[in-house]
Amino acid sequence: MVKYFLGQSVLRGSWDQVFAAFLQRYRTYSKHVLTEDIVHREVTPDQKLLSRRLLTKTNRMPHWAERLFAANVAHSVYILEDSIVDPQSQTMTTFTWNINHARWIILNFYINLRISFNC
C-alpha cells in the first residue's frame, strides 16, 4: 500500500520570518518531538547552508503496527532531515525520512520553500 499526498500552502511573511519559523518549528510548539540534534552543518563555497538533523519523535503508530513492536519501542521514531538553504535565491529544500521501523513503514517528506510573487 502506497499513499501519496501533495499539499501547497502560502505563508505570509518575509523570507527571514518564514525561514526562522520553519527551522524552529519543533522547539516550542511540538510536544511530540523529544530531541532535535544537528549532526552536520556547513556553508558551501556558493554560500548555501547544508544541514542534517536527527529528530526523535513520539508519534502514535497505526493500530496494526502497535502489535509488531514492544510498547516502549513503538512510540519512538528516529528521523533524519537534510536541508539546503540558499539565501541568495531565498529557497529552502528539506528531505525528511524515518530511520527506524523502515522495514514496515517508510515515511518521506519533501518540502520546498520559496518566495512567491503571486500573493
* Cell numbers representing residue 17 in the block: 520570518
List strand residue ranges (DSSP E) for the chain, in order: 33-43, 49-57, 77-86, 91-98, 108-114
Per-residue pLDDT tens, the chain, 119 aa: give them. Answer: 667 777 878 778 888 888 888 888 777 677 788 888 999 999 999 999 999 999 988 876 667 666 766 666 557 789 999 999 999 999 999 999 989 877 777 888 898 888 876 65
pTM, entire model: 0.79
Which residue matches cell numbers 520559496?
114
> How far is residue 92's CA from residue 81's CA, in Å, rounded to a whole number?
12
Largest CA distance in the chain: 49
Angstrom distance (rounded) from CA 29 to CA 33: 9
